[in-house]
Amino acid sequence: MNDPGMNELAGKVAIITGGGYGIGKQIALAYARLGAKLALAARSLDPLKQTVAEVEKIGARAIAVPADVSKEADCARIAERALATFGRVDILVNNAGISGPTKKITEMALAEWQEVIDINLTGAWLAARAVIPAMERQGGGIILNIGSGAGRRGFPLRSPYAASKWAMIGLTQTLAGEWGDKGIRVNCICPGAVEGERIERVMRARAETMGVPYERIRAGFVSGAAMHRMVTEDEVARVAVFFVSDLAAGMTGQTVNVDAGSIMN
């Protein structure tokens, strides 16, 4: 058994959706430090360019692919660009996602529901479908889906987000069953509340919708974890490294929480 080393991912090519910021960016930097070549995709080009620049400072190669994962043609283009540039695709990290509205279902428009499902769930399905043929030709690959603690329990006022993340677990297990005999492993990470701008926006929206102080909402998120804190993007990225390393060679169809021990109901 070998621990992930400095060259664990040398020669490997990883596509990371939502790779310009947050968890996706930290996973990109972690993979770059292990020698991976990266194709980073997101709707916003400027954050992608910044992540590419940071990857290149590490000494790794990366390309930016502006794309909307909810669009079939864009997902096909991400795979095509990675293959044209690097010649193979070994890893897909389905990280792209949006928080969606904070509303009761009766106050939510169908378009608001559909946008979250299209990006968070259909986008992962489309991206996986785009890369699996190349992985099958190569004799294997790894798909890592980024879910959420909201995919483990109900999340009032966040119905499309919770539904999309519950479905991500089902997608993970189903793809693992379909492609395991082709050497393709599919696993899922469910982060809890992750320190950063995104969770701050979520908590403030929740406080406003519920008409309670922001401090009360934040305290609830923190006290709802056994470790009485949120997790960091880097802590999630470390588990993302584990799943694409040889240490996880016998794991597929699995979902692991990175949530500081969430005990919220």
At 264 the pLDDT is: 61
Same-domain pairing of 149 and 220: no
Same-domain pairing of 144 and 118: yes
Same-domain pairing of 114 and 208: no
Asked whether residue 5 is assigned to any structural domain, the reply reads: no
Q: What is the pLDDT of residues 140-188, one digit of tens each?
A: 999 999 999 999 988 999 999 999 999 999 999 999 999 999 999 999 9
Asked whether residue 263 is assigned to any structural domain, the reply reads: no
Domain membership of residue 204 as a residue range: 194-230
Q: Which of 96, 112, 118, 109 minimizes the C-alpha distance to 44?
A: 96
Q: Is 214 a catalytic residue?
A: no
Q: What is the pLDDT of residues 25-65, one digit of tens each?
A: 999 999 999 999 999 999 999 999 999 999 999 999 999 99
Tell me what the mean pLDDT of segment 122-127 comes to.
98
At 103 the pLDDT is: 96
Asked whether residue 265 is assigned to any structural domain, the reply reads: no
At 1 the pLDDT is: 38
Asked whether residue 202 is assigned to any structural domain, the reply reads: yes
Partners of residue 92 on adjacent β-strands: 15, 143
pTM of the entire predicted model: 0.94
| Number of folded domains that form the chain | 2
Same-domain pairing of 110 and 44: yes
95 CB contacts (<8 Å, ≥6 apart)? 16, 17, 18, 19, 23, 24, 27, 146
At 154 the pLDDT is: 86
34 CB contacts (<8 Å, ≥6 apart)? 4, 5, 6, 7, 8, 9, 10, 241
Same-domain pairing of 101 and 207: no
At 263 the pLDDT is: 76
Same-domain pairing of 102 and 172: yes
Asked whether residue 126 is assigned to any structural domain, the reply reads: yes
Asked whether residue 3 is assigned to any structural domain, the reply reads: no
DSSP assignment of 198-248, as one string?
HHHHHHHHHHHHHTS-HHHHHHHHHHTBTTSS-B-HHHHHHHHHHHHSGGG
Average per-residue pLDDT for the chain: 95
Name the band, by pLDDT with cuts 50, 70 and 90, for residue 4.
Answer: low
Same-domain pairing of 145 and 220: no
- CATH code, domain with 145: 3.40.50.720
Is the confidence at residue 2, as pLDDT, over 50? no
Asked whether residue 7 is assigned to any structural domain, the reply reads: no
Is the confidence at residue 265, as pLDDT, over 90? no
Same-domain pairing of 252 and 127: yes
Same-domain pairing of 179 and 132: yes
Same-domain pairing of 105 and 176: yes
At 79 the pLDDT is: 98
Same-domain pairing of 125 and 152: yes
Name the band, by pLDDT with cuts 50, 70 and 90, for residue 262.
Answer: confident
Active site residue: 21, 31, 161, 214, which one? 161
Asked whether residue 6 is assigned to any structural domain, the reply reads: no
Q: Which long-range contacts (CB under 8 A, 24 or more apart) does 151-155 make?
A: 151/190, 152/190, 152/257, 152/262, 153/264, 153/265
Q: What is the pLDDT of residues 188-228, one digit of tens each?
A: 999 999 998 889 998 999 999 999 998 999 998 999 899 99
Same-domain pairing of 75 and 172: yes
